Structure 1
Amino acid sequence: MSARDRLVVTAIDLIRRQGVSGTGLSQLLERSGTARRSLYLNFPGGKAELVADATVAAGNMLGDGIDRLIGEKGPVGAVRAFVEMWISNLASSDFEVGCPIMAAALGRSEAPAAADTAGEVFLDWERRIAAGLETAGLSVDDAARQATLTVAAVEGAIVMAQATKSDVPLRRVEAALVESVEQYLN
């Protein structure tokens, strides 16, 4: 793995755990096994540029997962599988590892470009989900509304689950989203 890739992967992991402001350059360099010089060669804009690139990488990875789940399981199965993935991730980390996109969105004061990128990622996820819902038979407007609801509800439930150290918010959101999608499909 290249120094650049190591930095991006390490940044994603640390941002998921500590947020943007809690992730320091020294820690990034130490955990990635990368020299400071490599950081600035690959990311001349420093930490802010690295966080923005990490946000793009994480967003694409999760977005591709959304596409795969919708393609394999359909809209209802995709909601269930996506929520289960987050429950598993949170439980295995004692509710410390959250969504790197949400963390980037909340890190605007330190990395404004990453926060802007997070907004673009959320919109991309909405488009992907809406496309899957349209394929399943929802109108363009209903698919867009359900996609926004899905992204907002799951992201909010992840934060609530972390704060309460409980998967109950995600379980409730899953049930509500499944019910909502099923109503549209029937």
Structure 2
Amino acid sequence: MLRSAALLFREKGVEATSVADVIEHAHAPRGSIYHHFPGGRPQLVEEATRGAGDFMGSMISAGLASRGPEHTMASIVGSFRDQLVATDHVAGCPVGAAAVEGPNTPGARDAAGAAFTSWEKIIADSLCERGVARDDAERGATLALSAIEGALLMCKAQRSTRPLDVVEEWLVGMMADLLGTASR
């Protein structure tokens, strides 16, 4: 159910996704939602956001460990680009959706904030391990995530992948510059 909720959030948004939508998408019995989530919809939204954040954090960590920052940024952007194209520019980031629509579900907004903070730390730590100064690494991580999340919103509104294309080019270059500065 958590996976179904996250998939629906990225396409419909948090507020537009009902418990009935999640049950139908997950092919789950109606009563199971309150068995697994006694706190109801707010608990479901919070846990789905946390799960999506943890999953993306794992993907970022794995990419950084195996391919490094430049390729990981390109991979993240490419994955979001593929999702946008496959859904006619509807799918975005489920964590971003929870952050934007969080006033009615403060637990989800808190989970989104924690996910963004975690992702920033993962990226910054990876850059530091490669010799980038902590301040530069932290700024680079914040810029990378802000650019990707902002580009996703622009892509959806403009029905174009151009914002992500531009962000990918700049992020790959920025990571290369940061790493080049670190090696000097």
Which residue of 1 is the match for residue 40 of structure 2?
Answer: 46
AA aligned to 1:31 is H
TM-score relative to the length of structure 1? 0.93
Q: Kindly provide the CA deviation profile for residues 74-110 of structure 1, in whole angstroms up to 9, marking residues without a partner as x.
A: 1111111111111111111111111000001112232
Q: Does 1:177 align with 2:171?
A: yes
Which residue of 2 is the match for residue 4 of structure 1?
Answer: none
- Taking only the aligned residue pairs, the percentage that are identical comes to 37
Which residue of 1 is the match for residue 19 of structure 2?
Answer: 25
Which residue of 2 is the match for residue 78 of structure 1?
Answer: 72
TM-score relative to the length of structure 2? 0.94
AA aligned to 2:109 is A
Q: Kindly provide the CA deviation profile for residues 13-52 of structure 1, in whole angstroms up to 9, marking residues without a partner as x.
A: 1111111110012222222222332111111111110011
Q: Kindly provide the CA deviation profile for residues 87-134 of structure 1, in whole angstroms up to 9, marking residues without a partner as x.
A: 111111111111000001112232110011100000000000011111
Q: Kindly provide the CA deviation profile for residues 131-172 of structure 1, in whole angstroms up to 9, marking residues without a partner as x.
A: 111112101111111000011111111111111111110111
Question: Secondary structure at 2:21's aligned position in 1?
Answer: helix
RMSD value, Cα: 1.1
Partner Cα distance (1:13, 1:184) in 2: 34
Deviating 4+ runs (over 6 angstroms): none
Q: State the number of aligned residues.
A: 180
Q: Kindly provide the CA deviation profile for residues 61-84 of structure 1, in whole angstroms up to 9, marking residues without a partner as x.
A: 111111111111111111111111
AA aligned to 1:13 is L
Question: Secondary structure at 1:109's aligned position in 2?
Answer: helix
Give unpaired runs (5+ residues) of structure 1: 1-6
Q: Does 1:14 align with 2:13?
A: no
Question: Secondary structure at 2:68's aligned position in 1?
Answer: helix
Q: Does 1:133 align with 2:143?
A: no
Partner Cα distance (1:15, 1:26) in 2: 13
